[in-house]
Structure 1
Amino acid sequence: MRLEAVIQLIIAASFVASWFVTPIWAIKGINYSIYLTPLGYVVIFFGNKALVPPPTVFAVWLFALDAGLVPIIWRKTRYPLYLSMILAVLSLTMLVDTVLFQQRYLQVRGYVTSPTPNGYIYVQLPHVSVFEVPFYILLALVVITVVNSVTGAKWTNVQVIIRRRKITGGNQLDVIKGVLDRVGVKYEDVDNGVRVGGTMVLLKGNSLILVKDSIETEVSLDVALAELVRAGADQLIRTAGDDYEGE
């Protein structure tokens, strides 16, 4: 699982969680206010509260949450990155549509509309509209999905930095693991060694022992790396590719 996909999921989850805490958009005025929550518009008029749930409001956070989950669940091709970008854009589109619902049905020619027990009331009161924190988190989600879809979720170099640290320090076994990490070869840790497919390299004292076809041979670091990378290439041909690498 790539760090970029995890970041995308965290942003999506943060958006949904923050929206349940604070409204994404609001109209604020004296004795009158409207708050857009994940369940719909909460209209407060002189202390009376009413909930107006437009259907599109549910699509906003459902699409956003799906945009974060899709690259985590489906990772074998680049298509989930494109799908998550589409879902994030759809989430923003549904938000715009929900705000337009307010402009169409809850505000007419400068007059605001408030539900009453037996109908609606039109009243002109000073008010201002504001976007709150969840809106900007949603924008960040759209941006990150676009970046991930364009770069194939490879825009961060944090993993490369970690791997370089492995290579620059430690014993020969640490160097081998660091190189295998950098070239993307999946390996299995064994006692004092690593295994890639049917090839294993063990560290005995200061010597590297190559175990292949039940034959043990003392080899240099370069030979050990070459054999493990070759085994990794053979394994890659027989199995599926890395995350988001398929067409």
Structure 2
Amino acid sequence: MRLEVLLQLLLAVVFVVTWFFMPAYGIYGRDYSIALMPWGYLVDFFGLNYVAPPPTVFAVWLFALDAGLIPVIWRRTRYPLYLSAFFAVLSLMMLLDTILFQQRYLQVKGYAVFPTPNGYLYVYLLHTSVLGLPTYILLALAILSVFNMATGAKWLDVDVMLIIRRRYVLHRDALSTVELMLRRINIKYVRYDNEIRVGNVALIKDGDNLIIRKDSSTEAVGIENAILELIKAGFSQVITEGTIDYEGE
């Protein structure tokens, strides 16, 4: 696996997590606002809150996650890079389409339109439109995905697996090598004597063998696949919990 692909996955996860905490787009005025969140437009009108969920909003973060995960899961050919770039650009287009939905249906000739349970309110008040940080992160993801597609994800010329092998030869301890790599990318883990656990995935050292235990299944793996499985488990925690507890430097 290449570092360029890991950067792409990291941007996709950061985009989704960031969007759950701050809007990708918003209109703000005195005593009212419309904020675009992953579940739709959050309307706050003089203390009354409503949600208007355009269907395209759910496609935005689903396509963004696909753009990050596809080149990590499927790595045999260059086709996943093409597919990943397609999903990243499609995600950006869905976001722009969702914003245009607001411009077309929730803003008319200077009036801001506020959905309510019984209809709509037309309000003519001063307001400002702002693009949030998640939008710029998604734009960076789309640019990086296209760049990875054009260069074959080799513009940094860094092979993560080669780094892992070199550190393994240096340390002569598989678990210490895995632990070092997890610390470098800030994955939350728990270390026991002969085990490293990330979420529900455990890496166990049995003699000279490495065993991945996930749910009720066990599998003997090499050090590269072991690190990959733990990284996947770490990113799953990011998506489900929405945050990472960083280990100290």
**Which range, TM-score by smaller chain?**
0.5 to 0.7
**TM-score normalized by the length of structure 2:** 0.63
Distance 1:57 1:35 in 2: 12
Distance 1:93 1:31 in 2: 31
C-alpha contact (below 8 Å) 1:85/1:146 kept by paired residues: yes
Distance 1:102 1:159 in 2: 43
Give, as a single letter, the amino acid of the residue that structure 2 aligns with 1:126.
Answer: L
Deviation at 1:154, TM superposition (A): 0.4
> Which has the higher Rg, Structure 1 or Structure 2?
1
Residue matched to 1:110: 110
| Unaligned segments of structure 2, at least 5 residues | 171-249
Deviation at 1:104, TM superposition (A): 1.4
Give, as a single letter, the amino acid of the residue that structure 1 aligns with 2:45.
Answer: F
C-alpha contact (below 8 Å) 1:27/1:130 kept by paired residues: yes
Deviation at 1:157, TM superposition (A): 3.2
Which aligned pairs between 1:148-227 and structure 2 lie closer than 5 A? 148-159=148-159
Residue matched to 1:34: 34
Deviation at 1:90, TM superposition (A): 0.3
1:23-70 alpha-carbon deviations (Å, 9 max, x no partner):
111111101100000000001111111000000000000000000000
Residue matched to 1:65: 65
C-alpha contact (below 8 Å) 1:81/1:149 kept by paired residues: yes
SS at match of 2:91: helix
Aligned length: 164
Distance 2:95 2:104 in 1: 14
Residue matched to 1:44: 44
Distance 1:41 1:70 in 2: 29
1:5-36 alpha-carbon deviations (Å, 9 max, x no partner):
11110010000010011111111110110000
Distance 2:117 2:20 in 1: 27
SS at match of 1:58: helix
Residue matched to 2:7: 7
1:145-165 alpha-carbon deviations (Å, 9 max, x no partner):
0111011010113449x87xx
SS at match of 1:21: coil
Distance 1:149 1:158 in 2: 16
1:78-123 alpha-carbon deviations (Å, 9 max, x no partner):
0000000000000010011101110111111110111234211111
Identity %: 62
| Unaligned segments of structure 1, at least 5 residues | 171-247
Give, as a single letter, the amino acid of the residue that structure 1 aligns with 2:79.
Answer: Y
C-alpha contact (below 8 Å) 1:22/1:132 kept by paired residues: yes
Residue matched to 1:77: 77
Residue matched to 2:135: 135
C-alpha contact (below 8 Å) 1:32/1:125 kept by paired residues: no
**TM-score normalized by the length of structure 1:** 0.64
1:215-242 alpha-carbon deviations (Å, 9 max, x no partner):
xxxxxxxxxxxxxxxxxxxxxxxxxxxx
Residue matched to 1:91: 91
Residue matched to 1:21: 21
C-alpha contact (below 8 Å) 1:22/1:134 kept by paired residues: yes
Q: Which contiguous aligned blocks of 4+ residues in structure 1 show a shift greater than 6 angstroms?
A: none
